[in-house]
Amino acid sequence: MHFHVMTLFPEMVLDGLRTSIIGRAEEKGCISIEAVNIRDYTLDKHKKVDDYTYGGGAGMLMQAQPVYDCWQALEERIAQRKGAKHRTRVIYVTPQGEVFHQKRAAELSQEEDLIFLCGHYEGIDERVLEEIVTDYISIGDYVLTGGELPAMVLIDAVSRLVPGVLNNGESAQTESHANGLLEYPQYSRPEIWHERRVPEVLLSGHHANIEKWRMEQSLERTKERRPELYEAYIKSCQILQK
């Protein structure tokens, strides 16, 4: 999987992602992350990439020209590598997009290339968005100063679903949200800590009982902490039984 990020702050994106598991995944060659500086594509002699908004109002807007030229250069390079006229999905991270969830992460992990567009200031001229963006995605109902953190969130969530990124092939299957429920509580050594014991069933070695206990814990926890997820899960079970 090749990630391409269009941004005014490439070092922010690269520094943030080139640590820990995602950094190792890149070294192993499971994924690649490239950050392209939109400013490199401005035709303005002072390297300006923003301007005032028509109609007035506070703040500046990123202009269409540098964003479009940056995208064209990227798209051309990707098409050349693939040896075909192929249109890569362009994700604009914006509070106006559909809110991101695990299913979307799984779907995006099937792509060979993904382009992320990060806005800054008050956003980007609508006309270039209309021409290049295929997906509008938000990471939640709050506003940030730039699209870089949301793009990094998406890249992290998608990367860990790419084969080979996690050592343990199972962990992406059993974790929170994989089945629509939150994950059960987990324990490591020692057996007693601050006078708290690890639940007895986990020490029993009885795999069927352990499975059952974990499922009960998952259900209980989801009902308590995320009632809307719990309702959706119960509904989907009822449909399957009909």
Distance CA 209, CA 23 (A): 38
For residue 118, give the nearest of 139, 93, 96, 135 by alpha carbon. 93
Shortest reach from residue 123's CB to ligand 4GT, in Å: 4
115 - beta bridge partners? 4, 90
Shortest reach from residue 157's CB to ligand 4GT, in Å: 13
Shortest reach from residue 139's CB to ligand 4GT, in Å: 4
Task: Tell me the per-residue interface mask from 80 to 109 with ligand 4GT, x by CB under 6 A, - otherwise.
Answer: -------------xxx--------------
What the block records as the tokens of 68 is: 């479009």
Distance CA 23, CA 165 (A): 10
Closer residue to ligand 4GT, CB minimum distance, 64 or 219: 64
Place of tokens 């779907």: 107
Shortest reach from residue 192's CB to ligand 4GT, in Å: 43
Q: Are 62 and 120 in contact (CB under 8 A)?
A: yes
Peptide bond into 66 cis (omega under 30): no
120 near ligand 4GT, judged by CB under 6 A: yes
Which residues 137-196 are close enough to bind ligand 4GT by CB under 6 A? 138-140, 142-147, 150
Residue showing the smallest CB distance to ligand 4GT in the complex? 119
Shortest reach from residue 181's CB to ligand 4GT, in Å: 25
Closer residue to ligand 4GT, CB minimum distance, 94 or 159: 94
123 near ligand 4GT, judged by CB under 6 A: yes
Closer residue to ligand 4GT, CB minimum distance, 120 or 214: 120
83 Ramachandran zone, left/alpha/beta (phi>0; psi -120 to 50): left
Closer residue to ligand 4GT, CB minimum distance, 105 or 181: 105
16 near ligand 4GT, judged by CB under 6 A: no
DSSP state of 155: H
**Where does the chain have alpha helices with state H?**
10-17, 20-28, 64-82, 102-108, 126-132, 148-159, 171-174, 207-225, 227-241
Q: How many residues line the site for ligand 4GT (CB under 6 A)?
A: 16
Query: Footprint of ligand 4GT on this chain (CB under 6 A)?
Result: 93-95, 119-120, 123, 138-140, 142-147, 150
